[in-house]
Amino acid sequence: MIERSHRRRWLAWIGVAGVFLAGTATPAVAAPAVEIRPYFQDTTLAANSSGTSRVLILYADRPTALSDVSVRYDYRTLAGKVTIAPEQAIDCAAPEPGVLLCTEPDDIEITEGPPGSGIYGSGTEPVRITPTDEAKTGDSGEVKVDLLVAGQRRSGYTSRVRVGEGVDLAGAPFTTHSTPPGGKVTVPLVVANVGAKAVEGFAAVFDLPYSVRTKDRFSNCLYTDDYLISCQFDEEIPAGGRLATTLDFQLGKDTYAPSNQSASAYFMTRADFEDLYRVRLDAGARAAIPGSGPRLALTDAPKQSRQADQTDVGPGNNYTSWVIKITGRNGTDLVAVGDTVQGGAGAVVTATVGFRNNGPATLDRVNGDYEAATHTDVELPPGTTATEVPDNCGLRRGTRTYQCSSGMLLLNGKSYTMDFRLRIDKVVPNARGAVHVNAPCECPAGGGFADDLKPANDRAWLTVNAASGQGAGDDGGLPVTGVPAVLFAALGALLLVAGGGGYLLSRRQRTRFVA
């Protein structure tokens, strides 16, 4: 059995690095009750197939936990055409034909996905949607999914299910390329039809890291800023056929070097792409813009009108990937940012601390494990107690030091600061704590960034009631505030559904009350 904790790591099943999507910081507002918004992806099934697995994904505006959860699947409009059943041995019942009610075996913890993304989500136990022997190409209907908490409906979502014909797309073998930061590479985009039926049009969805951009603007492709999202093609690929073109990528001048940048494309049928993409605008995603240039052309192939919805019955081979080796030297200097605050006994003051990326390279640690790029220790000054701390910080056992995790993407020239609310229990003149970026961490993937260009500036002071002439930190000034308005989202469902906004109901780092 798949370990539930891994399955519950929301969207970990996507498992690919993301596309850069810009947003704007949201002003602080009074926190209402946690809002839960579900998403159950549309589905196209191949007739006479074993079906496909689906998970109800739950998004929220902040971390929360749900107890006594059950999920109701109403697929009566598909009566006799499909069945829905649990994939694991969980408690499910069919109160009437075309309805399935499943009780979640554990509490559901909704947590932040990629660190620093501000996107919170989780998933329920998977179910399998399977066509019956009566299902025919062209059949369609709806699945109404209701989330129940303590027997009461909390929220719901309606998705579409279609029956189509099965085909099998495949990507080409991986290729390797090289360039210095700021350079260009041309990569092959090759797709094959390894099934027995012709594929009538398809789409390519791209997973590009932050450093990989494109200057082209093809009319059959979608873009966000300089980032390629997807392309759609009308060409037919006959059984055994193969189509190819090339893409020109531009590497950012702030790309870390030496490093390996991995990028990929995932091919899917037009119906499968529609299943993934239909909900994107409803989810509040930032609009992707079609290009205004010529079409991205493939090798010549006959075109024809779409005869039937198609779905890929062998999606495991749909990827093509490129490894881009970044040559030369282009490193990163993370600088600790401290603060100086004043107050009398009993006062509660706000200290803004963190770090700045002095570049010249952006530090990109985006990965499927969702590990932070670095960790920052914040040691409290003597005579103070933390009353509120950021959610990404935890107290080291037996110490007065909080360890805070960063996001996975740290942009060149940007500062990453956070607020600590400190109560001054006793006035201690020139009471000093410390801020230490790149602090050691007992983390599964290691402590963080070990190749800082200038380790000497990794520490700064956090001072309360400083003596005359004492500054905030080693850089001699107050912290530069303002978290960059950037979200980094994984591709696949998260790209097209969440899309840098998605069911993102809050983009601000939240604070915990600790004393």
373-412: pLDDT as tens digits: 999 999 999 999 999 999 889 999 899 999 999 988 899 9
Predicted local confidence at residue 335, as pLDDT: 97
| Per-residue CA distances from 354 to 7, 27, 337, 360, 365 (Å) | 33, 20, 5, 19, 18
CA atoms of 110 and 9, how far apart (whole Å): 9
| Per-residue CA distances from 247 to 231, 297, 462 (Å) | 11, 10, 49
CA atoms of 73 and 81, how far apart (whole Å): 15
Topology alike, domains 4-162 and 331-483: yes
**Total number of residues shown for the chain:** 515
Buried b (16+ CB within 10 A) or exposed e, 56-91: bbbbbbbebebeebbbbbbbeebeebbbbebeeebe
- Domain locations along the chain: 4-162, 167-329, 331-483
The token duo for 322 is 């490129």
CA atoms within 13 A on the CB side of 133: 0
Tell me the β-bridge partners of 385.
423
Q: What are phi and psi of 190, to 5 degrees?
A: -125, 135
CA atoms of 272 and 268, how far apart (whole Å): 6
DSSP one-letter code for 453: S
Predicted local confidence at residue 497, as pLDDT: 39
Q: What is the CATH number of domain 167-329?
A: 2.60.40.2310
Q: Convert the pLDDT of each residue in 37-73 to its tens digit.
A: 888 989 999 998 999 999 998 888 888 899 999 999 9
**This model's pTM is above 0.75:** yes
Predicted local confidence at residue 315, as pLDDT: 72
Q: What is the CATH number of domain 331-483?
A: 2.60.40.290
C-beta atoms surrounding 509 within 10 Å: 19
Q: Regarding the domain delimited by 4-162, which CATH topology (the fold level of the hierarchy) does it fall under?
A: Immunoglobulin-like (2.60.40)
The token duo for 436 is 């230490």
CA dihedral sign, ordered 490, 492, 493, 495: positive
Predicted local confidence at residue 61, as pLDDT: 82
Predicted local confidence at residue 467, as pLDDT: 63
Predicted local confidence at residue 357, as pLDDT: 97
All residues at 6 or more sequence positions from 189 whose CB lies less than 8 Å from its CB, including other chains: 204, 244, 245, 246, 247, 265, 320
All residues at 6 or more sequence positions from 486 whose CB lies less than 8 Å from its CB, including other chains: 20, 21, 22, 23, 409, 411
CA atoms of 96 and 49, how far apart (whole Å): 25
From 238, 241, 244, 246, select the one nearest 304 (Cα to Cα). 238
Per-residue pLDDT of the chain (515 residues; tens, 9 = 90+): 333 433 333 333 332 222 222 222 233 334 568 888 888 989 999 998 999 999 998 888 888 899 999 999 999 999 999 999 999 888 999 999 999 999 999 999 988 776 666 678 888 999 999 999 999 999 999 999 999 999 999 999 999 999 999 999 999 999 999 999 999 999 999 999 999 999 999 999 998 889 999 999 999 998 888 889 899 999 999 999 999 999 999 999 999 999 999 999 999 999 988 888 776 555 545 567 889 999 999 975 444 445 567 776 777 788 899 999 999 999 999 999 999 999 999 999 999 999 999 999 999 987 666 678 999 999 999 999 999 999 889 999 899 999 999 988 899 999 999 999 999 999 999 999 999 999 998 877 666 788 999 999 999 999 999 765 444 444 433 333 322 222 333 333 344 433 333 322 222 334 455 55
Buried b (16+ CB within 10 A) or exposed e, 253-282: bbbbbebebbbbbbbbbbbbbbbbbbbbee
Predicted local confidence at residue 34, as pLDDT: 83
Q: Please, are residues 459 and 337 in contact by the beta-carbon 8 Å criterion?
A: no
Predicted local confidence at residue 317, as pLDDT: 83
| End-to-end CA gap in the chain | 41
